[in-house]
A and B are shown apart, each in its own frame.
Chain A
Amino acid sequence: MMKAVFSRCACLALALGVVGCASGPGGGSIYVPVGGQDRSTAPEPPRASGSEQDAEPRVWRKSEQPEVSEPEPPATRSPSYRQAGDELPAAAVSLIRDADQRLQQGDYNGAIARLERAQRIAPRSAEVYFKLAEAYVAGDNLGAAEQFTLKGLSLAGNDTRMQRSGWLLLADIRRARGNVAGADQAETRAQAL
């Protein structure tokens, strides 16, 4: 049974790094540096209306303070979503390769430590979670493996290859845990893709 899981994981390893990133109508996740130029809705700070010679700073009485307007919601703004998770950056790929090597040497903890580093770099990428699941399978912690597979699946989006890998991995883990019905269900999902 373990062997079956391993072979699937090998397929998964092949899938690494070739995943495209398709954004849904809501757009992908946008990286926003500090002090973005598009702060259009920030209210203007109160300004003295007098000329520059007007040395005396104008005192605003409460009654005549400018109304702070609520920012108008721009027409284009709507709740965001997307169809697929993030692509893996090169740094994460190198960590995953390193983890793979350690896994082959039987160093589960070393592999997990590296995969967790990769997960911090690419926390919205399904592969990282499938890889973690694989490491937990190898370390014989099938409960954790199942949870990481589910987490990966929640980020697989419309990437059918990624989804199929995930469902098959889930089927194997569930079967290994003795959950035959759950395994069949996952297998059916994989076949439907």
Chain B
Amino acid sequence: MLTEANGEDSRATSDLDEQCYRHLLESIEQGFSLIELIHDSAGRAVDYRFLKTNQAFERQTGLMNVIGKTALEVVPDLEPQWVETYARVAQTGEPFAFEQGSLAMGRVFRIEAVGLDGTGSQKVALIFSDITESRRSEQRLIKKAESLRLALEAAEMGVWDWNFETGENTWNDAMYLMLGLKPNAVPASYETWIGRVHPADLVALEIRFAESLRFDGEFRAEYRVLGPHDTVRWVAARGRTASDTKGKIIRSYGVVTDVSARKIINQDLRISETRYRRLFECAHDGVIILDSGTRRIIDANPFMTNLLGYETAELVGKELYEIGLLKDDAASRSMIEDLKRNNQVRYDNLPLESRTGRHQEVEVIANLYDEGNRPVIQCNIRDITERKRSEEHLKMLMAEVNHRAKNLLAVVQAIANQTAKEGLPETFSARLSARIVALAAGQDLLVRNQWQGVQLSELVAAQLDHFRDWIGTRVLLSGPSVEMQPDAAQGIGMALHELGTNAAKYGALSNGEGKVFINWEVDDVPVPTFSMSWVERGGPKVITPVRLGFGQTVIGRMAKAAVQGDAGISFAEEGLRWSLSAPAENVLTRSNLARS
């Protein structure tokens, strides 16, 4: 009984153990199985049978209810190395741990195999850890590193990694290329790097790098290097330092990118900004920029602030009507409406009052355009006060030209009338032409002198042009330099013409030896007086004309009227004598009077 009892006891103990083990096996994470190897007739292990498994085994392998079945029954295409490995463990009795992937199961396991019952036993206990997931994440990490490398290469990013403890400095190919070097042709080193930096950026860069090492800071720098083909390139470097547990900096690493394109764009932007800012500042037009939404001034250039007498800061935030440019708020609104329809508005003539009350006429051209993020209005304001003034001046000049032209026509008309009365119709045309030519000669002189005055000697020469070869021999001039007023020049000029015509027909210039003496002078006593005479000698005997012709009228009355003085003509036998005297102020130009 006892024995039985003992036997029962031992069975009970064994059951308890069994329960305990089973509980233990079921609670662990690892898969467990107990296998027994199966040999072929030649004693070679060819398969194994599952004797025990736990739930984790089923979970991990996905193989259910395998107890009593052989491995090949469960996984027919099981890789032979599994059997071989277990057979070796059973043979040697050495526990063996290995990692094994099974394509058939689509998983990777770490397996600890322990032979049971000593050497030569055919039973092996297996502990499976499914490391498929951790393997995958390792794989992912490797892949990640690879894709980072690829990305760096694709982004043409140079990478450096400098270990101060080992002195090892590592660059990727892109780093070499960026510095215009063939990859690995020279050792990667601080000196190699610095040797490729643009001299202008060198000192600042070295200081900044040294600081990053000293203060464990970030290293950021943009500098120029001699890039491929020794062209100057802009690069941006970003680096970090790493320290050991004692805080000693032991590594510097980072990336370098070529930023030439951005630099050039930035530089172009800066140049463009400078250029337009200068235009804005120096323009001889007022420029106001308005926010189209609020209608308020955002900016105004110096010309505008001068025009208005306000500082830019005083203008900013105001509306146009507040600075006296538009009449009122309604006008301002209507301008914006117009602008929205047509994009441009033009006001040809707006009155503008400056802060000091100065009135100006301005022309305003407003344009609506988009400034990237907001619609703005640019108003160009041009001061047209000066233009208006010159338009007025031009109008005045045209009136003057009109007046002079009409006056001259009236003179021609008068001459024509008188010429017609004076002689035969057959000679009318010739006589009129000669007088018009004389008149024109006087005009030429006036125009040449901007209608200011005419030198008397020039006037005589012009009117006696027919006799120019005799001037100095038979026509003798004497007198000071005298500049005559336009009216006096015209009257005296006509008289000289008539005297010359008369002398050539009947007087001293009608024979071979007669002479004409033309004298003029300016006397100061008692009042400044201009006097002039035309004296003929050596001509044929003079006969006093019976009737006063137009020529004589001109010689006498015209000249007299032109200078508001006295004129006389005498027909002495020895020669004609004409004299004229007038207040100098009626004859000479103001500048000439001031001189004498």
Whether chains A and B associate is: no
